[in-house]
Amino acid sequence: MLFHSVALALFASTGLVEGVSAGRHLDIHKRATGTTGDDTSLTLAQNAIASGSFSDGLTEIGGNEAFEAASATSKNNFINFCEGETLTNGLQIVTGSCNGIPMGQIPAKNKMMSSIITFPLAGSKTIQSETTFNITVQMSNITPGSFSNAASTYFSAPQQLDSSGEGLPTSHHLTFN
């Protein structure tokens, strides 16, 4: 069988989502663990500077609307934004931290990740605490089947897309209170 399954944990529940073919899974794993370009350079490449950060947004088209705040600006992609702060460094620091890792690849509008909980239904009978139950999640535009170590790589790499423009899994998931 060419499909893997990945378990999703929400609360103390588990749901199964069909994964990707073995070949595609290996390709995703290579991308997730590989590096691109010169990953040892401490110099920001000129062609990697995002000029959208030069403006605070208030003087642009549609800017300065009621309750709209000025955005922070930077001429160097906020490269030292976290200087002097507690760095996330791949850890889940519950007291707060600063993450200097860029967001990474953003999918096209028609490839944005989406999920909806299809069971239990909204308005269903209240589930008592300490009760094990299944949650069914329908997802689109995400390539399940691989994820990084949440204990040591939490938000430690930019988001990546697969060759079709769909999002690759990350090390974290949603928790509802």
Host domain of residue 131: 1-37+81-177
In the block, residue with structure tokens 């890792």: 101
Q: Is 97 helix (H, G, I), strand (E, B) or coil?
A: coil
Whether residue 3 is contained in a domain is answered as yes
| pLDDT for the residue numbered 40 | 84
Q: Is 14 helix (H, G, I), strand (E, B) or coil?
A: strand
- Which DSSP category does 101 fall into? S
CA distance 170 to 71: 27
Give backbone dihedrals phi and psi of 31, rounded to 5 degrees, phi first.
-65, -40
pTM of the model as a whole: 0.62
H or E element that contains 16:
strand 13-21
Listed as ranges, residues in the chain with pLDDT below 70 are: 1-38, 170-177
| pLDDT for the residue numbered 167 | 85
Q: Is 27 helix (H, G, I), strand (E, B) or coil?
A: helix
Whether residue 70 is contained in a domain is answered as no
Whether residue 72 is contained in a domain is answered as no
Whether residue 102 is contained in a domain is answered as yes
| pLDDT for the residue numbered 9 | 32
Whether residue 54 is contained in a domain is answered as no
pLDDT tens-digit series, residues 132-174 = 999 998 989 988 777 788 888 888 888 888 899 988 876 554 4
∠ CA(116), CA(163), CA(106), 5° rounding? 55
Whether residue 21 is contained in a domain is answered as yes
Provide the number of structural domains found in the chain: 1
pLDDT tens-digit series, residues 127-142 = 899 999 999 989 899 8
Whether residue 66 is contained in a domain is answered as no
Whether residue 55 is contained in a domain is answered as no
| pLDDT for the residue numbered 99 | 94
| pLDDT for the residue numbered 34 | 53
| pLDDT for the residue numbered 49 | 93
| pLDDT for the residue numbered 118 | 92
